[in-house]
Amino acid sequence: MGVQAPLLTYFGEPKQTDAIKQALENELARIQLTSLIGSSFAITASAVVRESNKPHLFIFKDKEEASYFSNDIESLLKNEVFFFPASYRRAYQLEETNNANILLRVEVLNKLNNKRNPIIVTYPEALSEKVVSRKELKKHTITLKTNDEIPIQELEEMIQKLNFKKVDFVIESGEYSIRGGIIDIYSYADESPYRLEFFDTEIESIRTFDINTQLSIKTENKITIIPNTEAKKSIESQVSLLEYCPKNTIIWATDIKYSQGILDDYFERANEQYRNIVPNSIQYLRPEHLFTNGREFTNELEKFSIIENSNNCFFDAEENITIKTTSLTKINKQFDLLKKDLKKNKEEGLQNIILCSSDEQEERFNAIFEHSQEEFNYKCILFSLHEGFIDYTNKQAIYTDHQIFDRYHKFTSKTKFTDKQAITIKQLTQLEIGDYVTHIDHGVGKFEGLHKIKNNEKYQEVLKLTYKEGDILYISIHSLHKIAKFSGKEGSKPKINQLGSPVWKKTKERTKAKVKQIAFNLIELYAKRKLKKGFAYMPDTYLQHELEASFMYEDTPDQSKATIDIKADMEQEMPMDRLVCGDVGFGKTEIAIRAAFKAVADNKQIAVLVPTTILALQHYKTFKKRLKHLPCTVDYINRFKTATQQKLTLEKVATGEIDILIGTHRIVGKDVKFLDLGLMIIDEEQKFGVNIKDKLKLFKENIDTLTLSATPIPRTLQFSLLGARDLSIINTPPPNRQAIETSIISMNQEIIRDAIIYEMARNGQVFFVHNRIENIKEIAGLLQRLCPDAKIRVGHGQMDGKKLEAIMIDFMQGDFDVLVSTTIIENGVDVANANTIIINNAQNFGLSDLHQMRGRVGRSNKKAFCYLISPPLHKVSNESRKRLTALEQFSTLGSGFKIAMRDLDIRGAGDLLGADQSGFINDIGFETYQKILNEAVEELKRDKFEELFHNESKEFYIKDSQLDTDLEILIPDTYVSNISERLNLYKQLNNFTKEKEITIFIDQLKDRFGAVPEEINNVCDTLRLRWVAKKIGFERIILKNDRMRSYFPVKANSPYYNSDAFKKVLNYLKKNFETCEMIEQKGKLSISIRNIKRIKEALAICREIIKG
CA distance 974 to 262: 57
With 80 as the cut, is the pLDDT of residue 286 above it?
no
Nearest CA among 339, 400, 410, 330 for reference residue 368: 339
Q: What mean pLDDT is predicted for residues 297-322? A: 90
Q: Taking residues 593-606, what's their average pLDDT?
A: 93
The answer to whether residue 489 scores a pLDDT higher than 70 is no
3-state helix, strand, coil in the chain (%, to 5): 40, 20, 40
Between CA 833 and CA 860 the distance in angstroms is 7
Q: Which CATH superfamily includes the segment(s) 962-972+1013-1107?
A: Transcription-repair-coupling factor, D7 domain (3.90.1150.50)
- Report how far residue 793's alpha carbon sits from residue 813's, in angstroms, rounded to the nearest whole number: 14
Say if residues 931 and 925 touch (Cβ distance below 8 Å): no
Task: Give the model's confidence band at 1044: pLDDT under 50 very low, under 70 low, under 90 confident, else very high.
Answer: very high
In terms of pLDDT, which residue wins out, 617 or 212? Answer: 617
Pairing outcome for strands 396-400 and 389-391: antiparallel
pLDDT tier for residue 293 given thresholds of 50, 70 and 90: very high
Compute the average pLDDT of residues 615-621.
84
Residue 635 CA: distances (Å) to CA of 550, 656, 902, 1047: 22, 12, 38, 68
What pLDDT, on a 0 to 100 scale, did the predictor assign at position 419? 41
Instruction: Identify the pLDDT of residue 295.
Output: 93
- What is the share, in percent, of the chain residues with pLDDT greater than 90? 21
Mean pLDDT of 670-685: 86
Residue ranges, comma separated, of all CATH 3.40.50.300 domains in the chain are: 533-708, 740-892
What pLDDT score was predicted for residue 754?
Answer: 86
State the average pLDDT over residues 390-400: 89
Q: Tell me what pLDDT residue 233 has.
A: 47
Which of 865, 771, 757 is CA-nearest to residue 820? 771
Measured CA to CA, the distance from residue 176 to residue 170 in angstroms comes to: 6
Identify the CA nearest to 317 among candidates 120, 570, 14, 26.
Answer: 26
Reply yes or no on domain 740-892 having CATH 1.10.340.70: no
Which residues are within 8 A (CB) of 868 and not within 5 positions of it... i.e. 6 or more apart? 742, 743, 744, 745, 839, 842, 850, 884, 887, 888
Q: Which CATH superfamily is domain 533-708 in?
A: P-loop containing nucleotide triphosphate hydrolases (3.40.50.300)
Report, as an integer, the average pLDDT of 41-54.
Answer: 89
Best mean pLDDT range from 494-508, 693-707, 774-788, 863-877:
774-788
**Bigger pLDDT: 14 vs 55:** 55
- Over range 44-48, report the average pLDDT: 90
What stretch(es) of the chain map to CATH 3.30.2060.10?
A: 142-225
Provide the mean pLDDT of the chain: 81
Percent of the chain at pLDDT exceeding 70: 81
Answer yes or no: is pLDDT of 1089 > 60.
Answer: yes
Which whole number is the average pLDDT over 882-904? Answer: 59
The pLDDT tens digits for 925-962 are: 666 766 776 677 667 766 666 665 555 445 567 777 88
Least confident of 543-547, 770-774, 822-826, 884-888: 822-826
pLDDT score of 218 more than 60: yes
Order of strands, edge to edge, in the sheet holding 202-209?
A: 165-166, 175-179, 182-185, 194-199, 202-209, 216-220
Query: DSSP string of 846-888?
Result: -HHHHHHHHTTS--SSS-EEEEEE-S-GGGS-HHHHHHHHHHH
* Residue 653 banded pLDDT, cuts 50, 70, 90: very high
In tens, the pLDDT along 547-598 reads: 887 776 777 788 888 999 999 999 988 888 888 877 667 788 899 999 999 9
**Which own/partner pairs from 778-787 qualify as long-range (CB within 8 Å, at least 24 positions apart)?**
779/820, 779/840, 780/820, 782/749, 783/752, 783/756, 783/818, 783/820, 786/749, 786/752, 786/753, 786/756, 787/753, 787/756, 787/757, 787/760, 787/818
622 or 827, which is more confident: 622
Q: Kindly state the average pLDDT of the residues 432-438.
A: 81
For residues 856-874, give the mean pLDDT.
81
**pLDDT value of position 498:** 87
Provide the pLDDT for residue 716: 46
Spatial contact of 722 and 521, defined as CB atoms under 8 Å apart: no
CA-CA distance, 824 to 616, in Å (whole number)? 12
Assess contact for 54 and 248: CB atoms under 8 A. Answer: yes
Q: How far apart are CA 1016 and CA 444, in angstroms?
A: 31
Q: For residue 476, what are the β-bridge partners? A: 462
Q: Which whole number is the average pLDDT over 534-554?
A: 79
Confidence of residue 170 (pLDDT cuts 50, 70, 90): confident
Question: Is 142-225 a CATH 3.30.2060.10 domain?
Answer: yes
110-164 pLDDT tens trace: 888 776 788 999 999 899 888 888 888 888 889 999 999 999 999 999 999 888 9
Fold of 6-135+236-322: Rossmann fold (3.40.50)
Residue with more model confidence, 702 or 2: 702
Give the tens place of pLDDT for each residue, 623-649: 998 888 788 999 998 877 888 999 999
The residue type found at 339 is K
What lies within 8 Å, CB to CB, of 527 at 6+ separation is 945, 948
User: Is residue 470 scored above 50 in pLDDT?
Assistant: yes
Average pLDDT over residues 978-987: 81
Give the β-pairing of 216-220 and 726-730.
Answer: unpaired
Looking at per-residue pLDDT, the higher value among 194 and 488 belongs to 194
Residue intervals of the chain classified under CATH 3.40.50.11180 are 6-135+236-322
Q: How confident is the model at residue 793 (pLDDT cuts 50, 70, 90)?
A: very high
Separation CA 821–CA 793 (nearest Å): 8
Q: How far is CA 414 from CA 2, 458, 629, in A?
A: 24, 55, 37
Q: How many CB atoms lie within 10 A of CB 581?
A: 26
Q: Tell me what pLDDT residue 1099 has.
A: 93
Which neighbouring-strand residues pair with 120?
A: 57, 82
Buried b (16+ CB within 10 A) or exposed e, 510-524: ebbebbbebbeebbe
Per-residue pLDDT at 321 exceeds 80: yes
pLDDT at 4 over 70: no
Distance, CA of 728 to CA of 84 (rounded, Å): 38
Q: How confident is the model at residue 969 (pLDDT cuts 50, 70, 90)?
A: confident
Rg (CA), the chain: 34
Question: Mean of the pLDDT values across residues 976-992?
Answer: 82
The CA-atom distances, in angstroms, between 254 and each of 60, 66, 67, 1017 are 6, 10, 14, 64
Contact assessment for residue 294 and residue 263, using Cβ atoms and an 8 Å cutoff = yes
- C-beta neighbour count of 1018 within 10 angstroms: 17
Angle between helices 926-943 and 916-924 (to 10 degrees): 110
Going by pLDDT thresholds of 50, 70 and 90, the confidence category of residue 300 is: very high
490 vs 907: CA distance, rounded Å: 7
**Residues 282, 59: Cα–Cα separation, whole Å:** 33
- What is the average per-residue pLDDT within 866-875? 84
Query: Residue 455: pLDDT above 60?
Result: yes
Contact 302, 13 (CB under 8 A): no
Asked whether residue 360 carries a pLDDT value surpassing 60, the answer given is yes
167, 175 contact by CB (below 8 A) = yes
The residue among 70, 76, 43, 44 whose CA lies nearest residue 57 is 70
At residue 950, the pLDDT reads 56
Mean pLDDT score, 292-303 = 92
> Where would I find the H helices in 98-170?
99-113, 124-128, 134-139, 152-161
Residues 6 or more apart whose CB falls under 8 angstroms from that of 723 comprise: none
- How far is 100 from 105, CA to CA, in rounded Å? 9
Task: Give 372-391 pLDDT, tens digit per residue.
Answer: 667 778 888 888 888 999 98
Question: What pLDDT sits at residue 235?
Answer: 55
